[in-house]
Amino acid sequence: MEAVFGGVFGRGDVAVGDMAWLQAMLDAEAGLARALERAGLVPAGAGQTVTAAASAANFDPATFGIELTGNPVPGLARALARQVPAAVAGAVHRGATSQDIIDTAMMLLARQVISATLADLAQAAEAAAGLAVRHRGTIMIGRTLLQQAVPVTFGLVAAGWLTALDEARGGLASVRATRLAVQFGGAAGTLASLGADGPRVAALMAEELGLALPVLPWHTDRLRILDISTSLARASAVLGKIARDITLLAQNEIGELREGDPGGPPGEIRRGGSSAMPHKRNPVAAVAMLGCTRQVPGLLATLAASAEHEQQRAAGAWHAEWEPYTALLRLTQSAATWGAELLPGLVVDTPRMAANLAATEGLPLAEHVTALISGVLGAPRAHDLVARASERAASSGLLLRDVLLGLPELADTLAAAGITPEQVEAALEPAGYLGATQVFIDAALAAHGGSGHG
């Protein structure tokens, strides 16, 4: 994966693989050892001794015998105990069960990935804000159901991206602040092996790891996993929407956007190149984003289906979380990294936007013309008149203006209703039919300025 596909699906500042999992589990074990020391249950210095030994480089997961125990923690705990003096070995894994270590590792991994993803989303959002400002008056054709609709501005499109990015950032920041909790319940969620000291050790472990202390152990309550996963899936959905917009607008026949070229050494493979067609320049970043984001809904569905954990410990549902959870972390972070690279370099072809709008021959303004004359002719009659004119314009290649003002039966009807040619001309001007566009852009920028998601 890392060598072949990692450049697409494994980008980002935080590694999410076997060694990252191993280090997160070791960090959980080390945090527990320090908590036990602070509670006075193990010799002084034991916590730091375990922490010093708890480096992934010191261990080989292949020796843990996961095929014998069903999870890596029993083997890891034994290996860690062998790395420290015998007098300290009792500080390793004391009071814990395997799920305590793996669930806590899930929280530690999530914190790292969410923080990295938030940084990338912030960069993408700043770029979207800049596009909204620079192109607030750049008129283009809006498209609904992939068909030409009414005029919009590219600034409003970018403002929509911005608002969605900021909402995704808010969800991730909230999860990071409130839903990442230590897991420490022992064999069946009672911490019986630690007696009266159990709750205190749990609180100290949470403090050592910088995680929240839950009301009680959450072995079979998987809402935290779902909250993390859902917040990542929301971010992925936003990134996927932006990437899809860009791929559509970058089509040769539309050509309103294109990806910037990050450059590279002379003679090297260029961004967007095709193995077969030398002329092509594919929107690689957007395509790669979609390659990441398309996988996320299925992963979220698997995690939701795995959230039913029976009694005090699930038989299989817990195991079913590990791989989709890992993939969800990795793919969302990768998509966000692509987005942080793509949006700042996005190239907007404003002449092409204007040309595409002009090529619509006025038809997208039919709604505006209908609104103009409906007050005089009534809505049904106005709609029918403009519909006939639009059909004639589309079939003949004439401008809608020329049909409305040039065909005697239509022109006479308009004249009889007191509608002047100047009014029709004004109704067919795209800049006059942008509604609350500027208000909406201002609102998105103001909300972004006050979002404060870090």
- Amino acid found at 101: I
- Amino acid found at 433: Y
3-state secondary structure of 35: helix
Q: Which of these is catalytic: 294, 313, 381, 388?
A: 313
Q: Taking a C-beta distance cutoff of 8 angstroms, is the pair 6, 103 a contact?
A: no
Element (H, E) at 347: strand 347-348
Instruction: Report the distance separating Cα 94 and Cα 81, nearest Å.
Output: 11
Instruction: Report the distance separating Cα 241 and Cα 289, nearest Å.
Output: 10
Q: How do strand 257-258 and strand 147-153 relate by DSSP bridges?
A: unpaired
Whose CA is closest to 162, among 121, 108, 216, 116? 121
Instruction: Report the distance separating Cα 381 and Cα 370, nearest Å.
Output: 9
Residues 6+ apart with CB under 8 A from 23: 55, 56
Instruction: Report the distance separating Cα 359 and Cα 371, nearest Å.
Output: 22
Q: Taking a C-beta distance cutoff of 8 angstroms, is the pair 320, 70 a contact?
A: no
Sign for the pseudo-dihedral over CA of 284, 285, 286, 287: positive
Burial class (CB in 10 A: 0-12, 13-18, 19+), 146: exposed
Instruction: Report the distance separating Cα 201 and Cα 318, nearest Å.
Output: 24
Instruction: Report the distance separating Cα 74 and Cα 76, nearest Å.
Output: 5
Whose CA is closest to 338, among 212, 239, 450? 239
- Asked if 274 is an active-site residue, the reply is yes
Q: Which residue has the tokens 């493979």?
A: 269
Element (H, E) at 149: strand 147-153
User: Which token pair is 318?
Assistant: 């817990």
User: Which token pair is 209?
Assistant: 């790891």
Q: Taking a C-beta distance cutoff of 8 angstroms, is the pair 296, 332 a contact?
A: yes
Q: Which of these is catalytic: 174, 193, 274, 396?
A: 274
User: Across the chain, which distance is largest between two alpha carbons, in Å?
Assistant: 103
- Asked if 231 is an active-site residue, the reply is no
Catalytic residues: 274, 313
